[in-house]
Every structure is written in structure tokens, then in C-alpha cells.
Amino acid sequence: MGTDRPVSAEALEERELVLSAQAGDHTAFAGLVQRHQRRAYAVARSIVLSHDDAEDAVQEGFLHAFRALERFRPEQAFGAWLHRIVANAALDIARRRKVRDADELPETLSSPHRDPAEAGELRARLARALNTLGERQRAVIVLHDVEGYKHAEIGSLLGIPEGTARSDLHHARAHLRRQLSNLRSEK
């Protein structure tokens, strides 16, 4: 976040894309989508329970971002701004999903989007363990341990204090360790 750091060529390129997109250039916005969709997907996937919901959140997030593009100040970090929007879209989907079909969660979790060969007892147990975690704790541990976000960034993404993100991570790790405690002895 330091303002004294030299601006990289990548950042300058991104700024150009943002300015062009703000001027109505769809190709420039497509360039931003291309750059950020993987990270956006990862953020969404950490919050919702299924690949399909994560995709929906990404699409909704980009659509919201596009509509709000004129309000974005180019001196900000576009990625942080966008990921916050995607996180909000994902949280919204997760809330709606929770209300709609809470009973189907275990099935949704245990059916990941790719490579059915990987699906096995271990994955199913992890899915069950993740399902016993609170929504926020699950998002925090995935964002931290899988995506590499720092506590403050997670707090900003999920709209919670940094200390809460830190404590959620601690509890989530302890919970999963307990739930999967016999992994070492089995494998």
C-alpha cells in the first residue's frame, strides 16, 4: 500500500485499462476481466460452497463493477476494489443459498467441480469437516491458507476487523485439525 513505491509497468497497464473501460471501451474491460477473474473466482469460491455459485458470484461481481466503474478512482487498487465487490456478491449468494436449501449443503460440498477421480473418502471427510465450520471461519481459512491473503486483507474483503479474521483463522484451523486428526495415522 506504500505510495512511495515505484509503479510497475503492470500497474500502469492496468490503470490504462481502467481509464479506457471508464471511457466506455468494452475491450479494455474484457482485459480487466481476463486479469482478475482467477483471483475473483478464488475469493468467491472461498465464501460459497460450490463451483457454480462461485461462477455466479464472479459474473455478478464483474457486472456490479462495470456498472459502478465511473465511481472508481483510478488511483485506487482496482483488484482490491473488485475483489471486495465479488466477495459481497458471494456473501449475498451464500446467504440466499443458506435460506433456500440448507439441507443440500453436504452434497454440494462433496461434489467439487472438477476431476471426479480425486473425489474420495479423504475429500468427503474434508467436505464434512468444512461444513461443520461457520461460514465466516471457512472463508477466512480458505482465503488465508489457500489464497494467501493477509489478515487485514481478509478483514477488508469480508467486512470484519483484522483481529476477528485472525481469531477466526485460529479457530478454523483448530477445528479442522480436530476433525481430521487421524489423517496422519491413516495415510
The residues that touch other proteins, with contacts defined as CB under 8 A, are 26, 29-30, 33-34, 37-39, 41-42, 45-46, 55, 58-59, 62-63, 66-67, 112-114, 118, 122-123, 126-127, 130, 141-142, 144-151, 170, 173-174, 176-177, 180, 183-184, 187
Residue 144 CA to residue 46 CA, distance in Å, equals 10
**CB of residue 150 vs other proteins: minimum separation in angstroms?**
5
Could you identify the residue written with the cell 456490479?
Answer: 64
Residue 39 CA to residue 33 CA, distance in Å, equals 10
- Amino acid identity of residue 116, one-letter, is P
Nearer to other proteins, 15 or 39 (CB): 39
**CB of residue 63 vs other proteins: minimum separation in angstroms?**
5
Report which of 120, 109, 130 is spatially closest to residue 52, judged by C-alpha positions: 109
Distance of CA 9 to the CA centre of its chain: 26
**CB of residue 81 vs other proteins: minimum separation in angstroms?**
16
